[in-house]
């Protein structure tokens, strides 16, 4: 199996990180992979915000928990009610991916960039996790304040976030995937 397919196959969500910050060279490689993602009509409509400020991330998590507890989403309320919950799993780096509201395909483009981040991280043996729980906060007035603090361009909305850091433990064993989700239609 080639190295790309190996990285895709071995990638798992990491939720336990070492405190050590990832190296700038690794971060730059991951960011290069993100902006190399496919995008609709060849016009990327994403913006990447890299946060390596523990205090800012902790403050965002506090407000995420508060926003979710005010929601009607029982699943997320249960998630953030777990003792010592941290939406970003105490990762030393978080990349926020936002997209242009005027692009009808920005969600697809941003998700492609997010997936490239995840695969590139795994190829460098850096742990990653695709995060969505923060979205409740960014749909609020307080979220608008954070968007300014994070330098999110005007007219862009947050689509996803990825935590990055050195893995505290090795990846879990890869579970077997169902093959019955594939069907073929072939011309004979």
Distance separating alpha carbons of residues 33 and 11, to the nearest angstrom? 16
pTM of the model: 0.93
| Residue 156 bridge partners (DSSP) | 100
% of the chain exceeding 70 in pLDDT: 100
Query: Does residue 136 lie within any of the structural domains?
Result: yes
User: Which CATH number covers residue 112?
Assistant: 3.40.109.10
Residue 181: predicted pLDDT: 85
* 3 state SS of 129: strand
pLDDT in tens, 78-108: 999 999 999 999 999 999 999 999 999 999 9
Between 75 and 44, name the one with better pLDDT. 75
Query: Does residue 173 lie within any of the structural domains?
Result: no
| Residue 126 bridge partners (DSSP) | 166
Q: How many CB atoms lie within 10 A of CB 168?
A: 14
Residue 143: predicted pLDDT: 92
Between 178 and 137, name the one with better pLDDT. 137
Distance separating alpha carbons of residues 51 and 3, to the nearest angstrom? 29
Query: Does residue 181 lie within any of the structural domains?
Result: no
Give me the number of domains the chain comprises. Answer: 1
Query: Does residue 5 lie within any of the structural domains?
Result: no
Query: Does residue 171 lie within any of the structural domains?
Result: no
């Amino acid at each position: 199996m080639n190295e790309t397919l190996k990285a895709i196959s071995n990638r798992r969500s990491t939720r336990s990180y070492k405190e050590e910050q990832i190296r700038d060279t690794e971060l730059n490689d991951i960011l290069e992979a993100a902006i190399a993602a496919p995008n609709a009509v060849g016009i990327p409509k994403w913006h990447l915000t890299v946060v390596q400020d523990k205090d800012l991330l902790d403050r965002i998590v506090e407000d995420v928990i508060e926003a979710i507890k005010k929601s009607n989403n029982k699943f997320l309320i249960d998630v953030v009610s777990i003792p010592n919950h941290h939406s970003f799993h105490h990762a030393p780096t978080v990349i926020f991916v936002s997209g242009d509201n005027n692009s009808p395909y920005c969600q697809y483009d941003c998700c492609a960039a997010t997936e490239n981040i995840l695969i590139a991280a795994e190829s460098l043996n850096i742990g990653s996790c695709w995060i969505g729980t923060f979205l409740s906060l960014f749909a609020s007035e307080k979220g608008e304040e954070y968007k300014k603090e994070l330098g999110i361009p005007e007219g862009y909305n947050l689509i996803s976030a990825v935590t990055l850091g050195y893995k505290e433990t090795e990846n879990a064993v890869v579970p077997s995937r169902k093959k019955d989700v594939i069907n073929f239609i072939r011309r004979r």
